[in-house]
Amino acid sequence: MTRVSSQLKAASLLASACVFFFSCGHGNQSAVEPTGLQAEHLSFLWWIFLAITAAVYVVVMVILVAAFFRTQRAAAGDEADLSPDPSREKRASSVVKAAVAVTVLTMFALMLVSFRTGRALDTLSQAQTPLEIKVTGQQWWWQIEYKDPTPSNMVTTANEIHIPIGRPIKLELVSHDVIHSFWAPNFHGKKDLIPNYPTTLFFRADEPGVYWGQCAEFCGFEHAKMRFMVVAEPQEDFERWYAASQQPAPEPVTDSQKFGRDIFLKSVCTQCHTIQGTPANGRVGPNLTHVGGKPYIASGSLPNDRENLAKWITDPQAIKPGIRMPMNTYSPEELNALVDYIQSLK
């Protein structure tokens, strides 16, 4: 069992790395392309470390190459080069001392820069009236809750975070199962979600766009398929999205959609999922009130089209093995109606 568990972990970590590099090349997910105040500080620190460590690497390689050729010349017969030379030994000692001093100063300077960056990352924690969002890490998806003093004004969604640009964002990060790590590299660094220890993360988006993030801590079999999307948009667009998200699910229009709603409400789906405006009020899985308008399903694993939605409903284990969603058996007519209804939830 231990060997199998290690193999599964290694496979998931490899898959996670592949997902990360694929997304960096085909989406906006990069720690060196900051779009917020905190990410800019982290990017600046990263480039400083890269420049210094690259310079150190080049110097060390030059010294090693020089030493190699010097040894080759000595081995070729230059015996005088191997004889002790007090002056040369003194010079070598001075070089070593100077190198140690430069190393200590460099490490001290990097420590100061890192410390100042850490202090700078906390600048938004004192911001007034931030947008407060509770993010709960699940196995393996993200539950997003927009907090509001009036419960009826709260919005709950999954794997998709809409934020207004220019406004401080306060994330309350929690986990109820295992350790997760929230990472939206364009906005901030990684932040662990430890069960029973809520933590907070402040950031701000300065440019509109769609940005990807994911879990950066191995959290189980489907860790690699635990992505989320951050949509940074102007305040007006955010307010329109928020107002639309507060509305109940639209009523089905066609006979097929009505039949699909009946199937949904009579199935086990209602035990896990919520659709506002219907008796479905499950809390285990994602809120499906407006799932038809989302570009992706299964935590960013699949584009939200008709074919993928049908596959996800009938055999989710084939797409994300190990998740809590069970397989479902429907006739072609029932499945077609159920997909029609779910796609109408916009």
Asked whether the predicted pLDDT for residue 198 surpasses 80, the reply is yes
State residue 76's pLDDT score.
Answer: 64
Asked whether the predicted pLDDT for residue 24 surpasses 80, the reply is no
Residue that finishes a domain, picked among 245, 280, 311: 245
Does residue 238 lie in a domain region? yes
State residue 67's pLDDT score.
Answer: 80
Q: Which residue has the higher pLDDT, 118 or 241?
A: 241
State residue 297's pLDDT score.
Answer: 93
Rounded mean pLDDT of 4-20?
Answer: 42
Asked whether the predicted pLDDT for residue 149 surpasses 60, the reply is yes
3-state DSSP assignment of residue 210: strand
| Bridge pairing between strands 155-158 and 141-146 | antiparallel
Asked if 204 contacts 166 with a C-beta cutoff of 8 angstroms, the reply is yes
The single-letter code of the amino acid at 184 is A
Residue that finishes a domain, picked among 226, 245, 264: 245
Average pLDDT value over all residues in the chain: 86
What are the residue ranges of helices labelled H in the chain? 2-26, 37-75, 86-120, 235-245, 255-266, 306-314, 332-343
Does residue 250 lie in a domain region? no
**What is the residue range of 80's domain?**
37-121
| pLDDT one-digit tens code per residue, 258-309 | 999 999 999 989 999 999 999 999 989 999 999 999 999 999 889 999 999 9
| pLDDT one-digit tens code per residue, 58-75 | 988 998 898 888 777 766
Q: Are residues 211 and 269 in the same domain?
A: no
Residue that finishes a domain, picked among 121, 143, 167: 121
| pLDDT one-digit tens code per residue, 153-168 | 899 999 999 999 999 9
